[in-house]
Amino acid sequence: MALISIQKISDDVLLGLWRIEETIEEFYSRYPFLQVYRKELDEKYKFEGRQKEYLSIRALLFEMTHDEKLRIDHLPSGKPTLKGWQLSISHTKGFAVLILSQTRPVAVDIEYLSDRVNKIAHKFIRPDETAVDTMSRLIHWSVKETVYKYFSDEDLQYFEMRLQDVTSDKCKVENLKTKKTVEAKFVINSSYVLSYLY
């Protein structure tokens, strides 16, 4: 199994990270309850990588809760839902991440390290934000994706969020629509930037 970690980041918040290394058949073999998704996945996702992302999140959900009966659904907007839980999901090249809480809203994003973000930086970095290199732009991108999910009912646009006081592992983000400020946290390593909010 490619479970990297499950962290209790607050009394009521769990953050799980998975490295996607398994074949589809290995997922079904290790987690037989995932077989219920086989037909749906074969019909819905032709790309094998997408199927593995789907299965890795459900395997991670089991590892975090030890409840194989839990089923992630999606609202018409695409937002994932889970009865009795608040959750947020993200995946990137080779990784899947899931954040869970039974008591409060949560959000997460993961982005693999790449300079592709430089080509689109003008689409999400405000003139009054500082992002002078690839890493700072990746932090802005990931954090804004996380904040977008956190305030999902507001349909925030990138320029309606402003990052401030960016340190090595956290920053403040102002929701310019409502004038609310939240603190996002992030982790940087040689493979990805992972940001979360609760």
The superfamily (CATH) of domain 3-104 is 4'-phosphopantetheinyl transferase domain (3.90.470.20)
| pLDDT band (50, 70, 90) for residue 118 | very high
| pLDDT band (50, 70, 90) for residue 46 | confident
**What does the pLDDT look like over 6-36, one tens digit per residue?**
999 999 999 999 999 999 999 999 999 999 9
Evaluate if residue 66 carries a pLDDT over 80.
yes
The first and second tokens of residue 196, run together, are 């979360």
| pLDDT band (50, 70, 90) for residue 69 | very high
**DSSP-derived secondary structure for 124-169:** T--TTS---SHHHHHHHHHHHHHHHHHTGGGT--GGGEEEES--SS
Evaluate if residue 41 carries a pLDDT over 70.
yes
**What does the pLDDT look like over 125-167, one tens digit per residue?**
999 999 999 999 999 999 999 999 999 999 999 999 999 999 9
Evaluate if residue 83 carries a pLDDT over 90.
yes
Each domain of the chain, given as residue ranges in start order, spans 3-104, 110-197
Evaluate if residue 77 carries a pLDDT over 90.
no
Evaluate if residue 176 carries a pLDDT over 70.
yes
The whole-number pLDDT of residue 1 equals: 65
pTM above 0.75, yes or no: yes
Of the given ranges (39-43, 68-72, 81-85, 170-174), which has the lowest mean pLDDT?
A: 39-43
Given a contact cutoff of 8 angstroms between Cβ atoms, the answer to whether 13 and 106 are in contact is: yes
